[in-house]
Structure 1
Amino acid sequence: MPPAASTPPAPRPGAPRPAALLLALALSLAGPGLQAAGPGPGSPGVPGVAGVPPPGLLRQAARAALHFLNFRAGSPSGLRVLAAVLRGRAAVDARRTCRVDLEFTAERYGPEADGRLGRCSARVVFRRQQPRPAVNVTCARFMETSRRRREDLLLYKRAKRLRAPPGATSMPDSHGWIDPSLRPMWDLAFLGSSYVMWERTTQTLHYYMAQLSSVNQWKTNEDAIDFDYTVLLHEFSTQEIIPCRIHLVWYPGKPLKVKYHCQELHTAQEGSGTEGG
């Protein structure tokens, strides 16, 4: 196990970490499905060859589908990230509603990922560049349901024994290191953030969780894990870092409950939402 590096000072409330550092951390954690790219022929919203949707739009739809799938599954052991888009088509109607039908592969998220790919198909509908796309997605199982339940239960037991780190603790640290003993906390943070990222996704904006910047509350005195935390989301393509405070309640096999509030940096508005899986 590599030695834990000293934790850098946490950002003051509302202050973004350096975008270059967080972008590097996000890309290192995201795996092959995430790319940083500026506007171009493959970017969402940029017309492609007649009858062929731009690759950026297909990736956008696939990521939105996986954020939705992760949230609805409510399983930190079953988290999935995009591997590759296989094929797809898109249509835009007179009301500027963009419907994307696609097939893609996904892989397990985290250090336990074994490289096995699962195949998914989805229909994602973006309405007038508005957030919260409509998603209908199905994926081949990566593992048997019984095994996933066992892994969730083991993670739950580990989480019940965890003591919350100091509120200023950041994961990963400046070297990209996450203490393995705190991995359940990171996975639950990623699970709750999946809802936020899906709800905020538009045809041209997508998100990735760059850092768990503070733990505000970690309660396990009842059956469920009650977790209140702040994350920094990397917003592509504006390249802004958005602080979001998220509260989730999780128990294996039960619907995930999420509430959140994000501080917008490029507008005077603030975003928030609540949902039960």
Structure 2
Amino acid sequence: MGVMIALVLAVCGVTGSPTVTFRPETASTDVPADPNIVPQMAKNTEQEQLLVIEVPEEDVMETGELNPNQYPAQRAAKVVQHYLNTRHGSPFKLFGLQRVHGGNAEDVADSGRKYQLEITVHEIISNAAQKCSVEVLFPRGEKQRSADVQASCEELLKINTTAQEQALYEQFKTNKSLVSAQYLPDSHGHIEPQNKPLWHLGIVASSFVMLKESSENSLYNMAQVVNITQQATEDDHLKFDCHTLLHELVSQEIVPWKLLFTWSPAEGVKVVQMEQLPHCHECEKPPNSD
């Protein structure tokens, strides 16, 4: 028997230090009668996600066929989302996990544990979806290394956003002042339309951190872009300084990161520096999460 976690993520930070507030009462009506079953996301929006997962009380990894609605399959599938965002994400192309259909796990000699999954990946902005076969290998060793991912979602990758990206790039390049934004989303889950590309860039950059930090014992979600500021640069890349909050669902910790990244339509998002900041003690955890 595991411990169920039902969360609807909403982020707030109107003034002063950023805070993160969760509204589990909103999700309570969606928790199924069977505590071993995890419903798929009721919503897959940019600001709010419903996640209900079963966290095992003991750290025992399963082999063989996996329950697609339980923690081992879900955490491996989530890594694919971060992987796709780091390779193909942009201000107008953002990937999410919509559903895990099935899969299995196996130990691979001294290499680690390999997960083979059938999942549906969602390109959030265009609202397109595709069923994909993926493999995720969590390496074994004393030093944690990023998971190795193989994912073929060719139809989603064909979505053409070149015109929108080029227009935004030219706008940022020719602005008389450098752009910046804070608290994306705000305390009401709202983002001004002109700031959505910055929010998307923050998510894509944070995917580099979440891919690096993901393991068989973790499950990361993006919570909030606390602030993002364009930096002056003389080359063809736009440069941004960004402070984000990540939610690690297993430990229920809110983890702040400082990122420096570049973006151009030709090269995509590249993270130049990433630094984990001291834990955000003012960020609230969900009630009854202990």
Does 1:201 pair with 2:211?
Answer: no
In the alignment of these two chains, the number of paired residues is: 245
Q: 1:257 corresponds to which residue?
A: 270
Unaligned runs of 5+ in 1: 1-5, 267-277
Higher strand share: 2
Does 1:71 pair with 2:86?
Answer: yes
Which amino acid in 2 is paired with 1:76? P
Deviations 1:23-63 (A, max 9, x none): x9x9864666x61435249x9x5455x73224322221111
Does 1:91 pair with 2:91?
Answer: no
- Distance in 1, matches of 2:214 and 2:100, equals 18
Quick one: structure 1 residues 20 and 103, their matched pair in 2 at CA, closer, same or farther if it must change by over 3 Å? same
Deviations 1:211-250 (A, max 9, x none): 1112354436643210011001111211111110011111
Quick one: structure 1 residues 30 and 237, their matched pair in 2 at CA, closer, same or farther if it must change by over 3 Å? farther
Does 1:20 pair with 2:18?
Answer: no
TM-aligned CA deviation for residue 106 of structure 1: 1.1
- Identity among equivalent positions (%) equals 28
Instruction: Identify which of 134, 137, 144 aligns with 2:158.
Output: 144
Q: 1:39 corresponds to which residue?
A: 55
Quick one: structure 1 residues 255 and 94, their matched pair in 2 at CA, closer, same or farther if it must change by over 3 Å? same
Instruction: Identify which of 106, 113, 117 aligns with 2:129.
Output: 117
Using the size of structure 1 for normalisation, the TM-score is 0.76
Q: Is the 8 A contact 1:60 1:203 kept in 2?
A: yes
TM-aligned CA deviation for residue 206 of structure 1: 1.9
Q: 1:180 corresponds to which residue?
A: 193
Quick one: structure 1 residues 31 and 171, their matched pair in 2 at CA, closer, same or farther if it must change by over 3 Å? closer
Unaligned runs of 5+ in 2: 1-11, 27-42, 281-290
- Distance in 2, matches of 1:241 and 1:256, equals 24
Which amino acid in 1 is paired with 2:82? H
Q: 1:270 corresponds to which residue?
A: none
User: What's the secondary structure of 2:183's corresponding residue?
Assistant: coil
Q: Is the 8 A contact 2:13 2:20 kept in 1?
A: no
Q: Is the 8 A contact 1:159 1:185 kept in 2?
A: no
Does 1:133 pair with 2:135?
Answer: no
TM-aligned CA deviation for residue 93 of structure 1: 4.5
- Distance in 1, matches of 2:202 and 2:219, equals 18
Higher helix share: 1
Deviations 1:74-129 (A, max 9, x none): 433222100101221110256482110111111112xx343x31122211111248
- Distance in 2, matches of 1:265 and 1:103, equals 35
Q: 2:227 corresponds to which residue?
A: 214
Q: 1:3 corresponds to which residue?
A: none
